[in-house]
Amino acid sequence: MAARTSSALVDPAWLKKHLGDLKVRLIEIAGMNQDEMQAYKAGHVPGAVCWKWKEMLWDSHRRDFPSPEEFAGRCGAAGIANDTTVVFYGEGVQFGIYAWWVFRYCGHARVKVLDGARYRWAAEGRPLVTEAPPPAVPVHYESVKRSEKMRIRRDKVLAALGRNGILMLDGRSPEEYSGQRVGGPGGPDVGAVRYGRIPGAKHLYFEELLDANKAFKPASELQQLVTARGAAPDEEIVTYCRMSHRATVLYFALTQLLGYKKVRVYDGSWTEWGNLVGVPVER
């Protein structure tokens, strides 16, 4: 278990103690290739409901996040109030961390990540179940402001290229970073018309931050990994990947486990950058 600077990361023992807590909602996020929620149906952590990532975390029409009003409506309909603690885990693991980031960005304060998702839970001998919990009772959720400091847009990324004091961290696979692929490992090679990376970006594959059970490595090991890429606590850091899911794993490790303060996610990531006209690409 990584030493942490906040309570955003919880272990299976913590979750077991809170499974009956009415102020805690446990949610599994069905990510890529989970359109039928196959992993959830095969066996999930007791008490977890399942959300499809795009349906619950994105605006229904735009490539953006739900508005404050829409976010409030979705939370309230899911039985989440402003003071509810939401615990996420994902399939794959990065989608639970992505959901944590989206909720924090959308202004929900009480949100946590289950370290290691179902993998660590099962590795510790804890049961998985197939039955879904009963539907949530809708509650009121007061709309809140977004935390815009967590996010950076493409124009500001472009303006930052070559600037001292700002580091780009690319969380994609080695094949994507080097320009051999635009799609992630094991899937179709699609997602952008150009191959490569944002100029000057350092590579830190998100899987390097995780152990065999998909839990975060100890803080000392995480620090070595980010320091080797030149990530200093007092400089600005931008994380990106293909669609920003893996980038949020870097963001979480930097901000919640290592205490870095000046970190933002470029959520447009390579899907946007690799399709833009007139921006530079490095290979």
Distance CA 249, CA 209 (A): 8
The catalytic position among 50, 75, 106, 241 is 241
Contact 235, 166 (CB under 8 A): yes
E-state strands within the chain: 9-10, 24-30, 49-52, 85-91, 111-114, 166-170, 202-203, 236-240, 263-265
For tokens 């969380």, the residue is: 171
Distance set, CA 270 to CA 66, 71, 86, 146, 240 (Å):
21, 26, 29, 23, 7
Can you tell me whether residue 106 is helix, strand or coil?
coil
User: CB–CB of 226/204 below 8 Å?
Assistant: yes
Residue partners of 48: CB distance under 8 A and separation at least 6: 26, 27, 28, 40, 89, 133
Is 241 annotated in the active site? Answer: yes
Whole-number Å distance between alpha carbons of 40 and 45? 9
Residues 6 or more apart in contact with residue 144 via CB below 8 angstroms: 68, 71, 72, 82, 106, 107, 108
The answer to whether 248 touches 97, Cβ cutoff 8 Å, is yes
E strands, 172-283, are: 202-203, 236-240, 263-265
Helix-, strand-, coil-residue percentages of the chain, each rounded to 5: 35, 15, 50
- List residues with catalytic annotation: 241
